[in-house]
Amino acid sequence: MTESARIAPATHSAGALRTYFNIVSEWRLADDDARALLGVAKTTFNRWRDNPEKARLSPDQFERLSYVFGIYKDLQILFSDRETADGWMNRPNDAPLFGGRPPMTRFRRGLVADLFLARAYLNQAIQGG
């Protein structure tokens, strides 16, 4: 069975996107920033936001969503204050990964690897490292 068949895009795309749009709303991200995280064009983003039931996400897009969901979860664990957790994306960060800039500055490049690295950084912070 192929990876895309196991993911069942028709079944899971709408729910995953609804969750995603709730998260980026809590993070107060501009549409362009939310699109960069998801790695899609403006027309696709708008179509999916307006009608997530019609979306068919690729394995790459599911991977991106997985990292975003994990980042969201990790921030909720690390910060007891929801405002602090939700503001993390746009607050300057002195970690070498972000170089004193907000994490969203790095994510605007649109690379899935940046989401992976941020998730690893947050997991390490949770582990006390």
Report DSSP letters for 10-63, one per residue.
HHHHHHHHHHHHHHHHHTT--HHHHHHHHT--HHHHHHHHH-GGG----HHHHH
Q: List the structure tokens of 113.
A: 């690897």
Q: Write down the pTM of the prediction.
A: 0.90
Residue 5 lies in a domain: no
Which pLDDT score, from 0 to 100, does residue 12 have? Answer: 84
Residue 17 lies in a domain: yes
Residue 3 lies in a domain: no
- State pLDDT tens for residues 84-101: 999 999 999 999 999 999
3-state secondary structure of 122: helix
Residue 2 lies in a domain: no
Residue 105 lies in a domain: yes
Range of the domain at 29: 11-126
pLDDT band at residue 4 using 50, 70 and 90 as cut-offs: very low
Counted domains in the chain: 1
Q: Whole-angstrom distance between the N-terminal and C-terminal Cα of the chain?
A: 38
3 φ, ψ (degrees, to nearest 5):
-60, -45
Residue 6 lies in a domain: no
Residue 61 lies in a domain: yes
